[in-house]
């Protein structure tokens, strides 16, 4: 029996690549000493170039306005469309250090764009238009990530009140939507193989919140920042148990889900250690920069090789993409012979 296979299609999770590079650039901006400023500037140039290339490729692949609407409304990958805007928030903050007016405008415009997508999706969720079995940690992107990344960027460009507003948005959404995601993960079939890397996103909220808060409070490790450290510690330890399932995932755009989350955690850890005077600051920063730079370089090389081999975007209709259209398919339970349909579902 032959199964028809369609050409590869660029989906919204491809936008994770420039988002990961934003994490790298932020790490260098916060931790690198002044003599390495040219390297920091280079990371930002690469980040902007990657965002342009990937975003244009994605939008060209999507096509007209109707298709864009369907991408945003997609129950599995729709939340990733917020990554068209979220990376531009730190880019705008960086630009503002050289050109304040356009930099601030970019931060504000990208915040409005991300909040618009988050609000649109949130309306669909509360109307019950999305089956909870299709939720995954990527659902934190258009609300939690947008709010917390925006808070750090708005604080950096001199809008402390607006930063606090967005910080509150991110925290409240993390509280409520994070609870829904845990209910989905605990009470429903395991995530299908292509979506397993999104479990790395669980590390991001406390790390991104911690980095944003330290931006807002003058880089102090206060009680709230320590609280974020505690929850981040639990999420990092949880990731260790997930390594074997992660290694079963074929390499593709989903692997970039690891990048921003882990980089944010490493960066926050380094900033916390430096602020608490644990260890030599230069060595802590050097260790963090080496770790994140090596990891991103490895991801970039693997991505280039996979694209050259034609394996980065699996053709539609293959097992590698089954979970991107129906999360009930390809799950570990189904692979073991247990049909996902027999598992209790909440709608």
Question: What would the pLDDT profile of 211-245 be if each residue is shown by its tens digit?
Answer: 999 999 999 999 999 999 999 999 999 999 999 99
Q: Are 313 and 10 in contact, with CB atoms under 8 Å apart? A: yes
- For 283-294, letters b (16+ CB in 10 Å) and e give ebbebbbebbbe
DSSP state letter for 315: P
Q: What is the pLDDT of residues 153-190, one digit of tens each?
A: 999 999 999 999 999 999 999 999 999 999 999 988 89
User: How many whole angstroms separate alpha carbon 255 and alpha carbon 194?
Assistant: 9
Pick the closest to residue 96 from 45, 148, 154, 36 (CA basis).
Answer: 154
User: How many whole angstroms separate alpha carbon 310 and alpha carbon 289?
Assistant: 31
User: How many whole angstroms separate alpha carbon 115 and alpha carbon 56?
Assistant: 21
Pick the closest to residue 268 from 293, 256, 285 (CA basis).
Answer: 285
User: How many whole angstroms separate alpha carbon 182 and alpha carbon 202?
Assistant: 10
pLDDT for position 337: 36
Beta strands in 78-120 (DSSP E): none
pLDDT for position 278: 86
Q: How many CB atoms lie within 10 A of CB 158?
A: 12
- Which residues of the chain, if any, have pLDDT below 70? 1-8, 64-66, 315-347
User: How many whole angstroms separate alpha carbon 155 and alpha carbon 296?
Assistant: 27
pLDDT for position 61: 80
Q: Are 166 and 151 in contact, with CB atoms under 8 Å apart? A: yes
Cα–Cα–Cα angle for 293, 275, 201, rounded to 5 degrees: 45
What token pair was written down for 24?
A: 């790298």
DSSP state letter for 77: T
Q: Which fold has domain 12-315?
A: Glycosyltransferase (1.50.10)
The number of CA neighbours under 13 Å toward the Cβ of 2 is: 3
User: How many whole angstroms separate alpha carbon 212 and alpha carbon 322?
Assistant: 36
Q: How many CB atoms lie within 10 A of CB 113?
A: 17
Residue 15 CA to chain centroid, in angstroms?
Answer: 9
pTM metric for this prediction? 0.87
pLDDT for position 73: 87
């Amino acid at each position: 029996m032959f199964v028809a296979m369609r050409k590869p299609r660029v989906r919204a999770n491809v936008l994770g690549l420039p988002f990961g590079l934003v994490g790298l650039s932020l790490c260098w901006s916060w931790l690198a000493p002044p003599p390495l400023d040219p390297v920091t500037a280079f990371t930002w140039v690469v980040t902007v170039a990657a965002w342009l290339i990937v975003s244009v490729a994605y939008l060209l692949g999507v096509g007209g306005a109707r298709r864009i609407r369907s991408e945003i409304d997609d129950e599995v990958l729709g939340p990733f469309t917020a990554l068209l805007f979220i990376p531009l928030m730190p880019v705008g903050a960086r630009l503002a250090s050289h050109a304040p007016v356009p930099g601030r405008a970019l931060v504000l415009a990208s915040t409005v764009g991300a909040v618009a997508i988050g609000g649109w999706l949130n309306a669909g969720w509360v109307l019950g238009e999305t089956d909870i079995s299709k939720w995954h940690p990527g659902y934190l992107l258009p609300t939690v990530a947008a709010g917390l990344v925006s808070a750090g960027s708005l604080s950096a460009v001199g809008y402390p009140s607006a930063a606090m507003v967005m910080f509150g948005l991110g925290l409240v959404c993390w509280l409520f939507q994070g609870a829904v995601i845990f209910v989905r993960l605990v009470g429903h079939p395991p995530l299908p193989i292509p979506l397993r890397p999104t479990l790395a996103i669980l590390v991001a909220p406390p790390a991104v919140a911690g980095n944003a808060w330290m931006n807002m409070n003058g880089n102090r490790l206060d009680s709230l920042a320590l609280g974020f450290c505690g929850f981040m510690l639990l999420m990092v330890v949880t990731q260790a148990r997930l390594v074997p399932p992660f290694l079963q995932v074929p390499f593709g755009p989903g692997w970039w889900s690891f990048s921003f989350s882990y980089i944010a955690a490493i960066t926050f850890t380094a900033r916390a250690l430096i602020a608490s005077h644990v260890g030599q600051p230069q060595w802590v920063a050097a260790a963090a920069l080496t770790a994140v730079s090596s990891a991103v370089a490895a991801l970039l090389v693997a991505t280039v090789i996979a694209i050259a081999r034609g394996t980065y975007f699996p053709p539609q209709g293959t097992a590698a993409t089954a979970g991107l259209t129906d999360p009930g398919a390809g799950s570990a339970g189904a692979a073991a012979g247990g049909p996902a349909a027999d598992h209790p579902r909440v709608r």
